[in-house]
Amino acid sequence: MSQSPKCYYYPYENIYNDPLKMIILEIFQYNMKDIKEIVALENKAPDYRVQKYICECVKLYKEMNRENCAHSNPESAKSIKTCEKLNTFKETYEYYLSTTPYKNYNIPSLDKGEDDYLTMCQPDAPKLLLRAELDGKVSVLQPETQERDDKKEEFSPPSLSSDENKGSSISRTVSTTFGTVAGASSILALLYKVIQIFI
């Protein structure tokens, strides 16, 4: 029983064009059944990370398909293998995800154009959907908000008289905000690591 374990190694860079992208699509394809179970849940709030993941993989597929299969080189073994793998990905995606409409998730088509992708995968889509879900709850707060809007003039800061000062003030505020966010996130990451070491 002195057999050594077999470790299969598939050198993606020798088989496919864009091997890293192909690995990402393979991971998505491998987990498609689980993703379908997640997006099929109607009584649970949508997880926008799942929506973003689906959209990013669709975008990756479209880029790879356009770059490798639209004008593929029939003499290149890598191009042939890449297109075969992309076709398998497309069949799996259509079987599990794109043929069924889902209540909480937008599943973009792999065949339709960029307009379809953009409407399904807008960066602000989760915020808009969340806003639509909360509209009933926000209306309870509206009287207080309206009251604050009426008193807005009392608390508004003095306005700058020249247009050139506005631009520099805004850019200073934006850069200060980004610097603060970057610094705070770095500190939080460091604290998280330190806490993990002592736990």
Question: Quick check: 90 and 83 in contact, CB under 8 A?
Answer: no
Q: What is the number of other CB atoms lying within 10 angstroms of the CB of residue 135?
A: 9
CA distance 90 to 41: 23
Predicted local confidence at residue 150, as pLDDT: 47
pTM value?
0.56
Predicted local confidence at residue 33, as pLDDT: 93
Longest dimension (CA), the chain: 86
* Model confidence pLDDT, tens digit, residues 33-60: 999 999 999 888 888 899 999 999 999 9
Predicted local confidence at residue 20, as pLDDT: 92
Predicted local confidence at residue 42, as pLDDT: 87
CA distance 197 to 199: 6
The stretches in the chain having pLDDT less than 70 are: 1-2, 7-9, 72, 123-199
Predicted local confidence at residue 96, as pLDDT: 92
**Residue (of 82, 87, 125) closest to 107 by Cα position:** 125
